[in-house]
Structure 1
Amino acid sequence: MRPQALFFKFILVSVLVVAKAQATTSTYQPFMWQVQNQGATVYLVGSIHALTPDFYPLPAAYEKAFQSADRLAVELDPEQLDPNQSARLVQSKMWLPKGVTIDRYLDDKRLTALQQFAKANQSDYERMLHIRPWMLVEQLTQVQLKDSDYQAEYGIDLHFLKLAKQKGLPVLEIETLSQQISAIADTPFQAQLTMLETSLDQMDDEDYMAKMTEYWRQADPDGLYQFVYQDVLDNPKLKPMMEALLDHRNQRMADVISIYLGQSPNRSQTTFVVVGALHLSGPKSIIKELEQKGFYPRPMFQDKNLQKQ
């Protein structure tokens, strides 16, 4: 279900990683970078969007950086979403064309897995056959999250959103809901179908979850990216999905973040930016995009002084 891990966070407030490892089982490093330019400072924090309470307290570097912030920037602020507008947007992109059903594209084994899922979760199987693959994967992932101990309320982004609102800090949104949903819903049908097939094949495979969380906890962006990208290497049909969910959005988010870095020529201003950890990982990450723009992100997990409790 690594394809699910790639996409699910793009639908409202959801999950990049769902893991069963305990938070205290390994070294805990801040998945964070600092960028400075002409008096402006940006902290880039990689988020896990669903965790358990035992992941807290976070490493001291997170809290220290946040205390210096003048504002918070997140992908989306869920409290600012209009539920009716969100529902209309999802509805406009979730249905297959009239007369087309997903069963014509899935083999018997995967159809059986989908039927079993529908029965176990009291879902209308006949209705599900008319839903586009991206939304079916979203439904599979929602149930997995519900059945796990990991909850979005303990995610890194929501943690800092709560703190920002308690402090009265301005909250900026890097993207719009339309951009996020379009990133997954407008990908080629074959890529969506491949993601659904892979998700159905791996419904009972949970080993990767703990590994992904460990890469984040150890602040290993290269390891995290390589682990997730293995699915693309195994099945190149998933590549358009990776490009839409990560590469293209990384470019847009880096453009926005570069504006934060250019807004304070006459006074210092610090922006604490929280995005999904995968956006800060890999050869086309936000980090790499900012470097190409002439900025110099500094990894904070290499700063031992900031890590002291």
Structure 2
Amino acid sequence: MLTKAIRSVVFLCLFAVLGTVQFVSAASSVWQISQGSSVLYLAGTIHMLRADDYPLPAEFQDVYQASDLLVFETDLAQLLDPVIQNRLQQSLIYPEHNNLRQFISDELYQEIAERWRKANLPPMLLPFMKPGGVAMTLTMSELQSIGVDTQGIDQHFHQRAKRDKKPVRGLESVDQQISYLATMGEGNEELFLKQSFSEMDQSTEFMGELIQAWRDGDKASLERLVVTDMQQQFPALYNRLLVDRNLLWLPQIKQMLKSEKETELVLVGAAHLVGQDGLLRQLAARGYTVQQLP
């Protein structure tokens, strides 16, 4: 999920339509959202890191300590359940009578087969894999080869919350997440896979830049690295993975801000936070104060 077409973060426009947006120069990827005396924290995450990316920035530790409830994209414990993992794997395989060769050129299929062979993946599985499954499997293999094999921020805080007995919840069901992954590249298979491989071949440089931009809260660099191609080349995927999900999450975040009894820490992929359709601008437009933490 880390190609340009899948990793999606947009530049945050520095104005609000109806609300107040406050930003500081020494930034992080953590924001405080408030209305009156009600506050929650919204943090952008990266789902896989390198071992030397720990410890995390201090802002993440501070808001974790200040929060009573952690909210993730989905129920991570359920997502890791073997039954759910099997359902995810099955969703990435074509139904009977379909196979990958039907949707891409012979030349591209041969390139995929060679990459598959070099990654030591089972050859008999490839013909039946959907584009999303191919891209994710090969990307994960490539990332592991360059040392990006440590749990990401979501898993880190989910495990910590479990240990500290802090309650957790998800913004969407695991079935919704599975559906998003299973349909990636659908209808535009050739271009989607070619773009994925192009980014995969630059993964070492890319991941270094991406993690540094995330660590610095550098919104302009995040936009350059992860969203432009997705918006231009895959508008349907952009709408499905980012816009639609943000619109589903907004009412839940607004409901959290109605209560002053507890402080929530909402951790979602950094792509969901910024840009024209991002949660930050959408919340500011609805009258909430949005402040990037130093």
- TM bracket, shorter-chain basis: 0.7 to 0.9
CA contact (8 A) 1:96 1:132 kept: yes
Distance (Å, rounded) in 2 between the aligned partners of 1:232 and 1:99: 30
Contact 1:247/1:284 (8 A) holds in 2? yes
Task: Give, in whole Å, the separation in 2 of the partners of 1:98 and 1:124.
Answer: 19
Deviation at 1:188, TM superposition (A): 6.5
By percentage of residues, which structure has more helix?
1
Partner of 1:87: 86
> TM-score with structure 1 length normalisation?
0.79
C-alpha distance in structure 1 between counterparts of 2:133 and 2:105, whole Å: 19
Larger deviation, residues 68-77 vs 143-152: 143-152
Q: In structure 2, the residue corresponding to 1:100 is in which secondary structure? A: coil
> Please, which of 1, 4, 7 is the counterpart of residue 2 of structure 1?
4
Equivalent of 1:166, from 155, 163, 168? Answer: 163
Question: Equivalences for 1:53-132 in 2 at 5 Å?
Answer: 53-81=51-79, 82-91=81-90, 93-132=91-130
Secondary structure, aligned partner of 2:49: coil
Is there any run of 5+ residues in structure 1 with no aligned partner, and where? 8-26, 302-309
Match of 1:183 among 172, 180, 184: 180
The Cα of 1:130 is off from its aligned counterpart by 2.1
* Secondary structure of 1:298 counterpart: strand
Aligned residue type for 1:85? I
Structure 1 position 164, deviation (Å): 1.8
Alignment-derived partner of residue 230 in structure 1: 228
1:296 maps to what in 2? 289
* Residues 85/108 of structure 1: CA separation in 2 closer, same or farther (3 Å cut): closer
Q: 1:57 to 1:138 in 2, by over 3 A?
A: closer
Question: Is the alpha carbon distance of 1:32 and 1:68 closer, same or farther for their aligned partners in structure 2, counting shifts above 3 Å?
Answer: same
Post-superposition shift, 1:242?
1.4
Name the residue aligned to 2:238.
Answer: 242
Q: What is the root-mean-square deviation of aligned Cα atoms in Å?
A: 2.6
Q: CA deviation at 1:148?
A: 2.8
* Distance of aligned partners of 1:34 and 1:203 in 2 relative to their CA distance in 1, 3 Å threshold: closer
Secondary structure of residue in 2 paired with 1:75: strand
Query: Residue in 2 aligned with 1:262?
Result: 258
Distance 2:281 2:27 in 1: 21
Q: Return the letter of the residue paired with 1:5.
A: R
Higher strand proportion: 2
More moved, 244-253 vs 30-39: 30-39
TM-score of the two chains, using structure 2 as the length reference: 0.83
Conservation of the 8 A alpha-carbon contact between 1:187 and 1:241: yes
The one-letter code of the counterpart of 2:165 is G
Counting only pairs closer than 5 Å after superposition, residues 118-157 of structure 1 correspond to structure 2 as 118-153=116-151, 155-157=152-154
Q: Counterpart in 1 of 2:206? A: 208
Percent of aligned pairs with the same amino acid? 27
Aligned-pair CA distance for 1:263: 2.6
Could you tell me how far 1:89 is from its partner in structure 2?
A: 4.7
Cα distance in 2 for residues equivalent to 1:139 and 1:58 = 27
Q: Look up the match of 1:46.
A: 44
- For structure 2, list consecutive stretches of 5 or more residues without a partner in the other structure: 10-24
Using the alignment, how far apart are the partners of 1:56 and 1:85 within structure 2?
Answer: 29
Distance 2:106 2:280 in 1: 43
State the match for 2:270 in structure 1: 277
Q: Distance in 1 between matches of 2:33 and 2:137?
A: 37
What does residue 16 of structure 1 align with?
none
Give the C-alpha shift of residue 77 in structure 1. 3.8
